[in-house]
Structure 1
């Protein structure tokens, strides 16, 4: 179980040191999801800012992909947190290009200093995984802190 207060304090300390990858790794350790990542929207392309795969910890980034090929499209569309613990049982994602492959996802919007969305922070996995309220709350709480150290790489989503 995630201790929200202690975890948030540790994440703030890590981010104060400008250690974005360390923060992503720490977040990943708090969830059963295999992957944790930060993405930036650039029109219809999704650029990876930071990535962690617990089965391949040396991989730091992923290739750019079309926004529509990622569940991040649901965060962008709703302008809010989007979760699916089991895509095969979730009508909202049925037919999405990744609905059979990426079966669990939790994404939180990243906002710039003007409150405009520029990207997401997310956990995802190839298998169904329950998503705890504590993990969602922690991701939502650190999203504003991440903005500070990604400010040079951000571009807002058009309204």
Structure 2
């Protein structure tokens, strides 16, 4: 599936984007560690779409710094299903009460902010996301930086996933 990437989103703060670019020069794990420091969410991850599965490529867990990869799971059991089916970003403060994410009502993760990582041919390759087991109401949206970061992650993420 090739998605329409023309939706309007605010631009991230230039300093945040420059700091992300600097972190990305240290590799994928360094880049997502940097993003994780900027969010109240416990987890930040990169996942690859693989048929009906969501494959973990890299993960940061604020509480377990040695964790670098999460579990693979069916896309249908993840907030990333929205990204996979629409190509659009998603931000959920509390999935237990959000009408857009009914399929996730009983999921262990309640908050989510995610953006699509596109392959060079425009197809949906995977997702960059923050998520947490409890509701996270950020003072400002993390989506602008996630969208910009996701647009820069493909080469590094694809190398790690290979």
Counterpart check, 1:22 vs 2:30: yes
Aligned residues: 151
Deviations along 1:54-93, one digit per CA (max 9) or x if unpaired, are: 0111111112111111111011111110111111221121
The answer to whether the aligner puts 1:79 opposite 2:87 as a matched pair is: yes
SS of the aligned residue for 1:87 comes to coil
Matched position secondary structure for 1:57: coil
Q: Is the 8 A contact 2:113 2:142 kept in 1?
A: no
Q: Extract structure 1 runs of 4+ deviating beyond 6 A.
A: none
User: Structure 2 length normalisation: TM-score?
Assistant: 0.85
- Is 1:46 aligned to 2:57, yes or no? no
1:7, distance to aligned residue in structure 2 (A): 1.4
Structure 2 distance, partners of 1:112, 1:28, is: 23
71-80 or 7-16, which moves further after superposition? Answer: 7-16
Deviation by residue 1:29-48 (Cα, 9 ceiling, x = unmatched)? 00000000000010011111
Is the 8 Å Cα contact of residues 57 and 161 (structure 2) preserved in structure 1? Answer: no
| Shift in Å, 1:142 | 1.3
Cα distance per residue 1:112-131 (max 9 Å; x no partner): 11111110000000111114
Asked whether the 8 Å contact 1:105–1:124 carries over to 2, the reply is yes
Q: CA deviation at 1:152?
A: 3.7
Greater displacement, 118-127 / 87-96: 87-96
Per-residue CA deviation, residues 89-114 of structure 1 (Å, 9 max, x unaligned), is 21121243x64421100110000111
